[in-house]
Structure 1
Amino acid sequence: MSSVVRLLSDLIAFSTVSHTSNQAITEWVAERLRAQGFECEQTRYLDGEGVPKFNLVAKRLPLDSQEKTGGSSDDRSENETGLAYFCHTDVVPADRWNGPGGNPFRAVIEDGRLYGRGSCDMKGSLAAMLAVVDGLDAAQQSAPLWIVCTADEETGLRGAKELVQSSPAYRDLVAHDPVALIGEPTELRVVYAHKGMSGFRVVSHGKAAHSSTSRGVNANVLMIPYLQTILELHERVQTDPLMRDDRFDPPTLTFNFGISDHAEATNIVPDRSEVWGNWRTMPGVDGACLMSDAKAAAEQLGLNFFSYKSVEPMESRTDDPALIRMCELASPYGGSEKPETVCYSTDGAVLNELSHRIVCGPGSIDQAHTVDEFIELKSLEDGVALFREAAHAFAMRS
């Protein structure tokens, strides 16, 4: 068993579903990195349910040189730019798991794949970077290295937001402005831009009563006219040329919606009806007009309107030398010679103070969040090789 497979198996064994604490895995990663000479900052916050969550910023400076901070990275040679690797330690629920072995938190290898919750999204990536760090000679390091692990990426990027707002170690990282490698699963393709997210919720209130009486007020009555607005918004994002960006696939805002009156029995008049809508924003195409039109229609009908906190899209310069270099490094492992776009979101959306954001990691997004999540062993091993080359390119002596 290779070192990266052992590391990934250990990481999967931590049940870090987003509604639980990630303290144990954070401390485990920090202990490993301290043994490799990293200084570790662990910051704590409580999520909306009062569960303690932890972010980790681990940093290792070159042994024989002073850190260079401030100014433009264009003034530094390539291997003095520094490298900051970003990942999240939480995973989505695994209640319906049907992968080999029956236990989502016990890694199983079968037919060249490693199965387990988080194997692809994104503990496989973290395992690959930890394996790289284990083999890096600190004496050959020419620029700072960071390993950053956040909580709650799967639930609105909460951990990254807390990191940006309250971590002194992250402030230090921003001052250096290294290459920021967000290791989400891209099949080792290099991504320079991804979509964000925005949306709303509309609520209609009625009065519950037995359906045989006339004392109830059905909350759906006022909601039904509003559904016409939802349909119009859905059709509009598919046809309005001003809401397209052909760099993405699909090139639209992909408006999605859902409806529920929470009715559990036909003999009870529903006293609450809800509709939600959301869309995937793109750089320069935020769909703000959708929000304003949805709100105006709700208010006209006397419905309660609530907007969600939006997630910004991410976009890096395609002429960034670090991005171009990363494409060169990734090409032998299946990456394109040119950077690409994806339609999902990452912590990179929150890290907008950093100039060199790149999304690239082993595994396929097609396997993320599935009931039999896995990562191909070849992709995992290739991830180790590519991350090693990235570390040498941006933080090690030639």
Structure 2
Amino acid sequence: ANVIGRKGTGSGGLAYFSHTDTVPADSWSCPDHGPFQPTVRDGRLYGRGSCDMKGSLATFLAAAARVTASQLRQPLYVVSTADEEVGYRGAAEVVRRSELYRELVAGRARGIIGEPTELSVVHGHKGTYGFRAISRGRAAHSSTRDGLNANLAMIPFLVEMKRIHDETVSDPVWQNAEFEPPWVSWNIGINDHTHAVNITAPQSICTVYYRPMPGMDPELLLERARKAADNCGIEFEVTWQAGPLYCAPQSEYIQELLQATGQDRSRTVSYGTDGVLYSAVKRIAVLGPGSIRQAHTDDEWIALEQIRRGIDLYESLIRRWCL
């Protein structure tokens, strides 16, 4: 479920965006506690979602609690969505149905996406596009001619995917020096679900995610992959389409954030957020406690010092734009 709240009245103010879902915790390496048992040790808070991003949400709520509603001259919004990790579905529902979201857009509230940035101001991130290619065969004993190995149709598709991948790494058209790495990021996975070497694979699935940057047309890569699948006679399904987020680093809002946080310059990150769906919020950036290096790990944690600093930082932004 999505949870959206407002503190105070009027227009403008500050909107904080987060999500409450986490990635699965099937693999967890901490022997003394489970993934959903918050544990503090050595200056860290361990647990699934501690970094991505329940720790950030708790940080902002603690900051908001330091200010009473009667003190606010402009409103404070908290938007916390479901299903961010599986396609930004909660954010899509907020945009489609929430009256409070429409209100904060109309009032030109400033937006903060609380994903982990180690409290650095982030003015842009890569997008996320995904698709799935499926070839089908027939399982049989591999010593006979009765089977049809689904991988044989998949192999030429993978060759074309390697060609596209290499092109985006080497061609300046697909590069942007503001990001690291400065080329389109790819993750290509393959699974034929075969459990024995003497059974022909009845199905082969290639799952692809790529991360385009501002100024690119990611649909061109999508169509090239679709055409390759058609040429190989295999199925093709688009699973994710979310463009990059970008707020010009020289813009008034980013400069305000830098001044408020005492930082010299903003930066970009290579992961994505559901903030791309909040495009109607014209002043928006990513700023949250914790490091992306700890997100999704099998011993996920957030430093308590990041939480403490984050509370003070968020409080200063609330006082700057809502009081």
Give 2:318's aligned amino acid. Answer: A
Contact 2:178 2:268 in 1 (8 A): yes
Q: For 1:190-269, what aligned pairs fall within 5 Å after superposition?
A: 190-269=121-200
Aligned to 2:57: 126
- Equivalent-residue separation in structure 2 for 1:112 and 1:132 (angstroms): 20
Q: Does residue 1:341 correspond to 2:257, yes or no?
A: no
Alignment identity in percent? 43
Contact 2:33–2:39 (CA under 8 A) maintained in structure 1? no
- Structure 1 gaps of 5+ residues are 1-53, 69-80
Cα offset, 1:256, TM superposition:
2.2
How many residue pairs get aligned? The number is 323
Aligned to 2:320: 393
Matches within 5 A, 1:27-42: none
Unaligned stretches of 5+ in structure 2?
none
The 3-state SS of whatever aligns with 2:240 is coil
Residue aligned with 2:24, SS: coil
Tell me if structure 1 keeps the 8 A contact 2:8–2:70.
Answer: no
Q: 1:364 aligns with which of 277, 291, 311?
A: 291
Q: Deviations over 1:202-248 (max 9, x none)?
A: 21111222223221111122222222102111211110110001000
Q: Does 1:178 align with 2:116?
A: no
Per-residue deviation at 1:100?
6.1
**How far did 1:197 drift?**
1.1
Task: Find the counterpart in structure 2 of residue 76 from structure 1.
Answer: none
What's the C-alpha RMSD, in Å, of the aligned pairs? 1.5
Alignment of structure 1 residues 35-50 onto 2, 5 Å: none
Query: What is the CA distance between 1:139 and its match in structure 2?
Result: 2.3
CA contact (8 A) 1:99 1:373 kept: no
Q: Give deviations 1:231-268, integer Å, cap 9, x for gaps.
A: 11121111011000100000100222122211112232
DSSP-derived class of the 1:146 partner: strand
| 3-state SS, counterpart of residue 147 of structure 2 | coil
Match of 2:220 among 262, 270, 289: 289
Structure 2 residue 247 is matched with structure 1 residue 316: yes
Amino acid corresponding to residue 292 of structure 2 in structure 1: I
CA contact under 8 A between 2:122 and 2:268: conserved in structure 1? yes
**Larger RCO (CA under 8 A, 6+ residues apart):** 2
- Among residues 94, 116, 119, which one is paired with 1:163 in the alignment? 94
Any idea what SS the aligned residue of 1:353 has?
coil
**Pair 1:60-2:7 in alignment:** yes
Distance 2:274 2:122 in 1: 13
Determine helix, strand or coil for the equivalent of 1:91: coil
State the Cα deviation string for residues 77-134 of structure 1 (Å, max 9, x = none). Answer: xxxx400111111111122212363222222211111111111111111111111122
CA distance in 1 between partners of 2:79 and 2:183 (Å): 32
Q: Distance in 2 between matches of 1:116 and 1:251?
A: 32
Structure 2 Cα separation of the partners of residues 96 and 220 of structure 1: 29
Q: Please say if 1:149 is aligned against 2:69.
A: no
C-alpha contact (below 8 Å) 2:139/2:202 kept by paired residues: yes
Pick closer, same or farther for the CA change 1:58–1:216 going to 2, 3 Å.
same
TM-score of the pair, normalised by structure 1: 0.78
Q: Do the aligned partners of 1:204 and 1:304 also contact (CA within 8 Å) in 2? A: yes
